[in-house]
Structure 1
Amino acid sequence: MSGLEIIAVIISALAVWLTARRNIWCWPVGCVSVLLYARIFFDAKLYSDLLLQLIFFVMQVYGWWSWTRNQSMAKALSETFLEEDKRHIMPQRLSVKGWAIGLMVGTVGSVLLGYVMARFTDAHIPWLDSALTSFSLVAQYWMARKYIANWWLWIAVDIVYVGVYVYKDLQLTAGLYAMFILLATIGLRNWHRELHQHETIAPIGNLAG
């Protein structure tokens, strides 16, 4: 356990909590957390996770842009949602086709990245690390697109990550990912509730118009 890991854990937990609250500040806070963990994973020789953090940084910027753009679209929603917090976004459902494509992309990415890491680096547990990296990217993309399904995938990935970080003697980070599971469950509940409320109110608004 290091001072850097302690700081990274605190900032990462804050980023996930803000995401669960649908607060747009989750993205800039997330940018800081992924850069800190990039250094931690480099030292631990978890190169797939290092690569993941660098890609996450780009996706954090994309998610920030995507959510910011949707703030203007939110003005078309009822005042019920706007009064609660204008920084919040509206979740969306993911189709069965979207699920299939996402899982297929995650699987293909796992194989390709796993081969590279096993063949050309001294990475520890390259295949499992690569699979977690690939599916984490899918979950991150779904989050940026505001799909509720991102939380289900994060829960599954984080459960495995807890075991990986215990094995790598990153106990504090393992504890963080255990907390991520709880936060992801809360985020799943909150996003489902928000979407249900919107779907209930929207037909009423249409009738009134």
Structure 2
Amino acid sequence: MIDWLNSPAVTAFGAATTWAELLGFVTGLLTVGLLVGRHILNWPVGILNVLLLIVVFWSVGLYADAALQVLYVVLGAYGWWSWLYGGHDRTALKVRTTTRAEWVGLALAGAVVTVGLWLFLDRLTGSTVPLADALTTALSLLATYGQTRKLVESWWIWIVADLIYIPLYAYKDLWLTAILYVAFLILCVLGLRAWRAALVRLAPAAVAR
């Protein structure tokens, strides 16, 4: 199966695109589209997507990104449960804004993860882009955690990450994945608008309670 996933499916921009990258493209778009609409199926489809991306990233030496996908599986399972039962009295989770304390925690965690991964990748692996790999890994983890809690501002973190991912994947000749992240960037903007609108709709209900 791994050999088939790593075999060429199509040629894009003069570089072979593997089946893993092609299927990752399709499931990735579907995942974010479902996430924009706050549909619970984004989590199982997302888990399938990251399993495919493990194969893609490991094959081109993006080791932190490959390891990140394993954490995504865990976060995907948590997000699935959280959206169903993470609200008040184990009810479905509602969209909300990020608190000041959460921002402080996210910033500290992001700094620690970025510096730690950068040093690890630079000194102990063959990564050719250790800082970019570490930074995007940290941002992606923070954004995913934010979305497991339905934090509106998590979309901003994804937007910053995507602006780094796009040139990074182009540099690695993962052109289809780079195009995918352009689409992700557009979907992130749509997601930000949709979740903000959902927050506005929820505000009157919160006041009524």
- Pairwise TM-score range, normalised by the shorter structure: 0.7 to 0.9
Aligned residue number for residue 112 of structure 1? 116
Aligned residue number for residue 166 of structure 2? 162
Match of 1:190 among 184, 189, 194: 194
Residues of 2 paired with 1:113 and 1:131: CA distance?
Answer: 8
* Higher-strand-fraction structure: 2
Q: Is the 8 A contact 2:31 2:45 kept in 1?
A: yes
Unaligned runs of 5+ residues in structure 1 are 75-88
1:70 CA displacement: 4.1
Task: Indicate the larger mover: 97-106 or 37-46.
Answer: 97-106
Aligned pairs for 1:34-113 (under 5 A) are: 34-70=50-86, 73-74=91-92, 89-113=93-117
Q: In the alignment, is residue 125 of structure 1 matched against residue 129 of structure 2?
A: yes
Q: In the alignment, is residue 176 of structure 1 matched against residue 189 of structure 2?
A: no
Match of 1:135 among 129, 133, 139: 139
Cα RMSD for the two superposed structures = 1.3
1:5 CA displacement: 0.9
Aligned residue number for residue 79 of structure 1? none
Q: Is the 8 A contact 2:132 2:164 kept in 1?
A: no
Residues of 1 paired with 2:133 and 2:28: CA distance?
Answer: 19
Which deviations, in whole Å up to 9, do the C-alpha atoms of 1:143-183 show, x marking residues without a partner? 10111111000001011100100100000000000111111
Q: Which amino acid aligns with 1:110?
A: T
Aligned residue number for residue 23 of structure 1? 39
Residues of 2 paired with 1:70 and 1:127: CA distance?
Answer: 34
1:113 CA displacement: 0.9
Task: Indicate the larger mover: 4-13 or 27-36.
Answer: 4-13
Report the secondary structure of 2:91's partner residue: helix
Q: In the alignment, is residue 151 of structure 1 matched against residue 169 of structure 2?
A: no
Report the secondary structure of 1:22's partner residue: coil
1:202 CA displacement: 3.4
1:100 CA displacement: 2.2
Aligned residue number for residue 202 of structure 1? 206
Q: Which amino acid aligns with 2:110?
A: G
Q: Is the 8 A contact 2:32 2:184 kept in 1?
A: yes
Q: Which amino acid aligns with 2:200?
A: H
Residues of 1 paired with 2:168 and 2:133: CA distance?
Answer: 8
Report the secondary structure of 1:147's partner residue: coil
Which deviations, in whole Å up to 9, do the C-alpha atoms of 1:56-106 show, x marking residues without a partner? 1111011011112147524xxxxxxxxxxxxxx521110123112212211
Residues of 1 paired with 2:145 and 2:135: CA distance?
Answer: 16
Task: Indicate the larger mover: 91-100 or 45-54.
Answer: 91-100
* Higher-helix-fraction structure: 1
Query: In the comparison of the two structures, how many residue pairs are matched?
Result: 191
Residues of 2 paired with 1:142 and 1:178: CA distance?
Answer: 21
Q: TM-score, normalised by structure 2?
A: 0.88
Q: Is the 8 A contact 1:103 1:135 kept in 2?
A: no
